[in-house]
Amino acid sequence: VAEPGEISDCDLIVSIGGDGTTLAAVRAASKVDRPVLGVACGSLGALTAVSAEGVSDALGRLHRRDWVPRPLPALIVARPGDAADLFAINDIAVVRAGGGQLRLAASVDGVLFGRVAGDGCIVSTPMGSSAYTIAAGGPLLAPGAVAFVLTPLPAHGGSCPPLVMGVESTLQLEAVGGHGGARLEVDGQVVDTEVGSMTIRFRPGVATLVSFDGQEPLLAGLRRRAIITDSPRIVADDANS
């Protein structure tokens, strides 16, 4: 095993694992503006470009400059008192940590959108919309969409639907945890157990993934992984045709 090195000394970061491993690599590589090649040990995910068996061919194509940069945006989170902003490639979640509802107020460009008492909310990039957001019943942003989305988690009454926002918008969240507390998660990692107020903005081109012509489209991958499935009646019709 090679000795640990400085990421800034590399021209390319190769992530071997799954989407979670690749996401961690993307976050690290974004700080030094290096592309990331995601290698899947298992089935291909949303962030991986090739399987383990395809690494040799992928590296050859990279050497020949036969690859396509896939820029990834991020969400930038500013909070009072923080020395530096947080950033998320996939999503930000403000969620209750135990018993008691989390009270949340969401405003867009200074205009109140909704106030809910419940489990919290998720704010995601287009890439992140295919993860926690879609699992929570939020919208899937198609490839090429330039937007970000707020998805409230289950609430106690009221009506506050998912909201898709333009990239020039600013989202303000005010959160108060219940007696069980709350937590702030960035790309699936707990970064704080104090939530409070925060401002979230969209920033394009924060990181770069390696992709190749002929790579499986995102929507096809979601169907292959059964994240998107057909109605049983349609499946039965196909079987009988």
| pLDDT tens profile 92-117 | 999 999 888 999 999 999 999 999 99
pLDDT greater than 70 at residue 33? yes
8 A C-beta contact, residue 172 and residue 150: no
Q: What is the pLDDT of residue 6?
A: 86
Are 145 and 219 in the same domain? no
* Extended strands (E) in the chain: 13-17, 35-40, 50-51, 68-78, 86-88, 91-96, 102-108, 111-118, 120-124, 147-152, 163-166, 170-176, 182-186, 189-192, 196-211
8 A C-beta contact, residue 100 and residue 177: yes
pLDDT in tens, 34-49: 999 999 998 778 899 9
What range defines the domain where residue 84 resides? 73-204
pLDDT greater than 80 at residue 3? no
Q: What is the pLDDT of residue 200?
A: 98
Mean pLDDT of 127-149: 94
Burial of 170 (0-12, 13-18, 19+ CB in 10 A): middle
pLDDT greater than 80 at residue 2? no
Are 176 and 92 in the same domain? yes
pLDDT in tens, 43-80: 778 899 999 999 999 999 999 999 999 999 999 999 99
Cα angle 147, 12, 214 (rounded to 5 degrees) comes to 60
Q: What is the pLDDT of residue 204?
A: 96
Are 119 and 144 in the same domain? yes
Are 61 and 118 in the same domain? no
Average pLDDT, the chain: 93
| Active site amino acids | 19
Mean pLDDT of 134-160: 93
Instruction: Kindly tell me the sign of the dihedral angle through the C-alpha atoms of 99, 137, 150, 125.
Output: positive
Are 111 and 157 in the same domain? yes
Q: What is the pLDDT of residue 100?
A: 86
Domain count, the chain: 2
Are 50 and 163 in the same domain? no
pLDDT greater than 70 at residue 1? no
Are 111 and 171 in the same domain? yes
Are 96 and 40 in the same domain? no
pLDDT in tens, 168-204: 999 999 999 888 889 999 999 999 988 899 999 999 9
Are 98 and 176 in the same domain? yes
pLDDT in tens, 154-171: 888 889 999 999 999 999
pLDDT greater than 90 at residue 5? no
Say which CATH number the domain at 30 has: 3.40.50.10330
